[in-house]
Amino acid sequence: MQTFTTSGVCAKTIDFKIEEGVVKSVKFNGGCAGNAIGLSALVEGMRVEDVVTRLKGTECGKKTTSCPDQLAKALKKFIK
């Protein structure tokens, strides 16, 4: 399990597990519970590169980042 400390969003950290290039689990700690649970369910089972491509750059209101964008950054950091 990896933990990523977020920046600029309500969730404080994101815990995630990757196996053989596939997202196995994601848990947002803090933030909007329903959105976090839904986002986690959608990306679990996807290839890491696909998740990064789909979510990077997602904004939240006037913020230049979002929980999906922070997840993309966490996963991108993991694969580098």
Q: In this predicted model, what pLDDT tens digit does every residue of 35-74 receive, in sequence order? A: 999 999 999 999 999 999 999 999 999 999 999 999 999 9
Give the residue among 74, 80, 24, 20 at the shortest CA–CA distance from 52.
Answer: 74
Structural domains of the chain, with CATH: 2-79 (3.30.390)
Question: What pLDDT shows up at residue 78?
Answer: 87
pLDDT at 76 over 80: yes
Give the residue among 59, 58, 56, 61 at the shortest CA–CA distance from 74.
Answer: 56
What's the rounded mean pLDDT across residues 8-23? 96
User: Token pair for residue 17?
Assistant: 């597990």
Q: What is the mean pLDDT of the chain?
A: 95
